[in-house]
Structure 1
Amino acid sequence: MTAIKRLTPPEAYAALQAGAAALLLDVRDPLEYSFIGHPLGAVNLPWKFAPDWRPNPEFLERARQLAPDPETPVFLLCRSGQRSWDAANALAAAGYRNLANIEEGFEGPLDGQKHRGAVGGWRCHGLPWEQS
């Protein structure tokens, strides 16, 4: 099985800037993607849907439409890194060979007060993002 790279948000951003053919998948629910924000240039392809976190039955089919070549560099991101890790493993099992999980996700881990966004994540690192 394909080894999945584990990158920090700044490492992923630098790699994305260096590779024009790369795809950045934000695998969060569409509400998270729109209202919390997302990296500039990210494509929303949910791995699971809130509120019951049911799997997206069209995930692999849609991924194949977005990146038909299994050699395409695909970077995956979620809230804090777990859903994107699961989605990356599914893509690896489907034959994708150039995968990277963005470990801190968009919002990062919980801090001591159980808040996200203060100790890690794409947004905390000051990388380009937007809300829609």
Structure 2
Amino acid sequence: MIENLNPKQCWRLMQDDPAAVIVDVRTAIEHSFVGHPLGAIPIAWKEFPGMQLNTAFVEQVKQAVPDKQAPVLLLCRSGQRSLDAAKALEAEGYQHLVNIVEGFEGPLDEHKHRGNLGGWRFHGLPWEQS
């Protein structure tokens, strides 16, 4: 089963369960330059050029998070790629999957800008960028 939690709920879950990990499924460029939650493991679901599906995604997650019982929180820009990635992990037997709704940057506002209506950064949760 895949849970949908907002960034604040995910931060609470991480504080309550030290086994919980965030997998950042955005591209390497997004992870590095836009920023990411502290401790997030970067494993792209899709990558440039052309936003091709990372066919090694599941294997890379298995290497980074071998415990299929551990809470795996999946983060992308706004919550869609992370949901697709969670479905792939669910099919591989991961038991506690969480899609971080709002993602890192949140939905578009009326001016087509992200970061003003929601997302990890919007809520003031710990993050960093390169």
Instruction: Say whether the fold is shared (TM-score over 0.5).
Output: yes
Find out whether 1:34 has 2:32 as its counterpart: yes
Q: CA RMSD in A?
A: 0.7
1:100 alignment partner, SS class: strand
Report sequence identity in percent. 56
Separation (CA, whole Å) in 1 of partners of 2:22 and 2:103: 12
Separation (CA, whole Å) in 1 of partners of 2:104 and 2:49: 19
Separation (CA, whole Å) in 2 of partners of 1:25 and 1:68: 13
4+ long deviations beyond 2 Å = none
Residue pairs, 1:1-132, within 5 angstroms:
3-132=1-130
State the Cα deviation string for residues 107-131 of structure 1 (Å, max 9, x = none): 0000011000000000000000000
Q: Which amino acid letter does the alignment assign opposite residue 69 of structure 1?
A: D
Separation (CA, whole Å) in 1 of partners of 2:16 and 2:49: 36
Q: Which amino acid letter does the alignment assign opposite residue 7 of structure 1?
A: L
- Deviation, structure 1 residue 70: 1.1
Q: Using structure 2 for the length normalisation, give the TM-score.
A: 0.98
Question: How many aligned positions are there?
Answer: 130
* Structure 2: gaps of 5 or more residues: none
* Structure 1: gaps of 5 or more residues: none
State the Cα deviation string for residues 1-47 of structure 1 (Å, max 9, x = none): xx100000000001011111111100000000000000011010000
Q: Which amino acid letter does the alignment assign opposite residue 121 of structure 1?
A: G
Q: Which amino acid letter does the alignment assign opposite residue 102 of structure 2?
A: E
Separation (CA, whole Å) in 2 of partners of 1:36 and 1:51: 18
